[in-house]
Amino acid sequence: MNPNALAPLVVPGEIASDLVQGTAREWLETNGLGSFAMGTVAGPATRRYHALLCAAIRPPLGRVVLVNRCEEELRFEGVGYSLNSNFYPGVVHPNGYTNLIEFRLDPWPTWVYRLGGARVERTLFMPHGQQTTVVQWRMLEGTRGRLFVRPLISGRDYHSLHRKNDYLRQQVDAGEGLVTLQPYPDLPPVHLHHNGVFAHRPEWFHNFEYPVEKERGLPCEEDLFSPGELAFDLTPHTPALAIFTLEGHEIPDVAELRQQELMRRALLVSGVADDLQARLTLAADRFVVKRGTHRTVIAGYPWFTDWGRDTFISLPGLALATGWRELARELLLAFAPHVQGGLIPNRFPDESEAPEYNTVDAPLWYVLAACRYGRSAPTPEERALVRERIVPAVRQIIEGYLAGTRYGIGVDDDGLIHAAAPGLQLTWMDAKVGDWVVTPRQGKPVEIQALWVAGLEATARLTREDDPGFAHELDERAAWARSSFASQFFSEELGYLYDCVDGNRKDATLRPNQLYAIGLCEPLVDRPRALKVLEACERELLTRVGLRTRAHDEQFRPHITGTQHERDGAYHQGTVWPYLYGIYADACMRVRGALHPGLLDGMRAHLHGEGLGSIHEIFDGDAPHNPRGCPAQAWSVAEMLRIVSGQVGQDA
């Protein structure tokens, strides 16, 4: 299968040209370096992150918005038709969205407009490994028109906003077919290759408004600068081209770039027969980026970078379910030298920043990912690499937990893991607002016990041949933890597992974390109890797009909207997380031996709907489960890949 063999993801004109529905659907292009282009189907930018070229100038970090977007108008005999639209306070201008008759991904963003008697196509793609965005306009029907394009630029950090100022360099270096822009001296120059005529007419555009930022209670207005205007004669035989690049003055061969990118994407899904799996594989590719001499995983677009926890939760789906074993190896080897006291960085260290080790679960996810990789190593050379370079890191993690390490992480007398650090949230439920830890889970979180037992048992299997004594010790420790777990965590009265135990304090909030105790390895409770746990989670937490983070009770938050304080307060208080489908599928396979019928129907619809080829980070807890958070999240995609590839309910 290749991208062209896939049925295009099509947004019909009645949706694409509807301001609400068309701006709810976001497209994304990436380049494997951490850079991206992103926007809405309808056209108006709704986030500060929407841009034609947001470049990671220290891949995958140092992201700056260099080219925000373009003002575009096609004129026939003095009559102008807009292709673009913008939000301003209280108004949308111009009205280009009303001229849209179709949007599709086949395999990159493609818009089709009806402009008077003409039909015009606009396409956009980023070549892999290049800091480049290619935009092309084609006349599909009609004779001749004059296309005018005004680039809008800022040169700001991608988290920030831009305002008119006297420091921006308004001058450009212009020659035939090339304009070089450098708004600020500390930024790389942007080279604009084109096949039109450029007129230097500098102008500021004021008060663009971003509704999503406004809804999130964040600053939402900015000013953008335009250095001038491009003019093209657009005919059926002469498409217009604008290439924004950091790669230099040499004229890119667009036909070659396009063909190379088509072939690259085709190879990603060669041999994949299932349409859903192919879509997910193409989505997975977007998160894989270069960092120095190796590759890493971006946790989500547009605002996350690479994080330890997200990387190793995602690794089985992104790297093993896809057959990208070299990627798995790179990820494991990249983190191995950074193990300290049994911990790995939750945020991968940058050259100018100290690593952050504030996580109890990321190291255990590393252990499981390493064991999955090691147990499936097909060659003697790969098995030797696991033995010599990856197993030592796994041992360091286990020994660090046994000895006790920072943040109160260590093994109690009952063989279970305890973790406590005032003011910090060490598990994946990590929302914090100022000094307020929204979901305090100090003590023994239920999924950490499952990760610990599963990690001990998996490492024992991996090392049994080379170090039987060590493997035997791990088996004994796992058995010890198992024997302690059921008596402390299962509530006969409630019929499910406590979320966290800390001495006599037992948190009875019904959360999906308990699924790890029955899905990650052989269930930590007997089969009848495991079935009760599964049924309780299905009854209270399961939705068509993932699992809620808590059952409906007095603290349940049905919507993750409002200010940042309000959103962070709802992040794990009922919000639906699609990545939790993965552990739910594991639990179904272990307890029932089969998956829930139609499990992925909602995700399939999302991929073809508001997800537009990817999967959001989160959804509202109550129907209609509106998507929220990052529009493209690595572990959401990775866990769906693990399910569709049949790699659920299996031991590491």
**Sheet with strand 9-12: strands edge to edge:** 9-12, 100-105, 109-115, 118-125, 132-141, 240-245, 190-194, 178-181, 173-175
Q: What per-residue confidence (pLDDT) applies to 351?
A: 55
| Residues in the chain, pLDDT under 70 | 1-5, 348-353
Contact 543, 619 (CB under 8 A): yes
DSSP state of 201: -
Q: What is the pLDDT of residues 70-96, one digit of tens each?
A: 999 999 988 999 999 999 999 999 999
Query: Could you give the C-alpha distances from 162 to 62, 170, 203, 207, 498, in angstroms and in order?
Result: 17, 15, 15, 10, 48
What angle in degrees, to the nearest 10, is found between the helix axes of 362-375 and 446-463? 30
**Residue 594: count of CB within 10 angstroms of its CB:** 9
pTM of the entire predicted model:
0.96
Domains recognised in the chain with CATH numbers = 9-263 (2.70.98), 274-293+543-652 (no CATH)
For residue 74, give the 3-state DSSP assignment.
strand
Closest CA to 65 of 153, 134, 150: 153
* Cβ neighbours for 22, distance < 8 A, ≥ 6 positions apart: 11, 15, 16, 40, 41, 42, 43, 97, 100, 103
**Residue 527: count of CB within 10 angstroms of its CB:** 11
Q: CA geometry: angle at 381 spanning 467 and 387, to 5°?
A: 25
Q: What per-residue confidence (pLDDT) applies to 348?
A: 61
Q: What is the pLDDT of residues 592-651, one digit of tens each?
A: 999 988 999 999 999 999 999 999 999 999 999 999 999 999 999 999 999 999 999 999
**H helix or E strand, kind and range, residue 447:** helix 446-463
Counting Cβ atoms within 10 Å, is residue 165 exposed (0-12), middle (13-18) or buried (19+)? exposed
**Beta strands, E only, 422-575:** 432-433, 436-437, 444-445, 490-491, 496-497, 500-502, 505-507, 542-543, 546-548
**H helix or E strand, kind and range, residue 398:** helix 391-403
Between CA 493 and CA 504 the distance in angstroms is 16
Between CA 362 and CA 597 the distance in angstroms is 31
Give strand pairing partners of 505.
Answer: 502
Contact 457, 651 (CB under 8 A): yes
Q: What per-residue confidence (pLDDT) applies to 333?
A: 96
**H helix or E strand, kind and range, residue 243:** strand 240-245
Query: Could you give the C-alpha distances from 536 to 489, 493, 494, 625, in angstroms and in order?
Result: 15, 13, 9, 20
Between CA 564 and CA 554 the distance in angstroms is 21
Counting Cβ atoms within 10 Å, is residue 346 exposed (0-12), middle (13-18) or buried (19+)? buried
**Residue 531: count of CB within 10 angstroms of its CB:** 17
Residue whose entry in the numeric block shows the structure tokens 């991206």: 36
CA atoms within 13 A of residue 492's CA, in its CB half-sphere: 1
**H helix or E strand, kind and range, residue 15:** helix 13-16
**H helices within 512-621, ranges in order?**
516-519, 527-540, 564-570, 581-591, 601-608
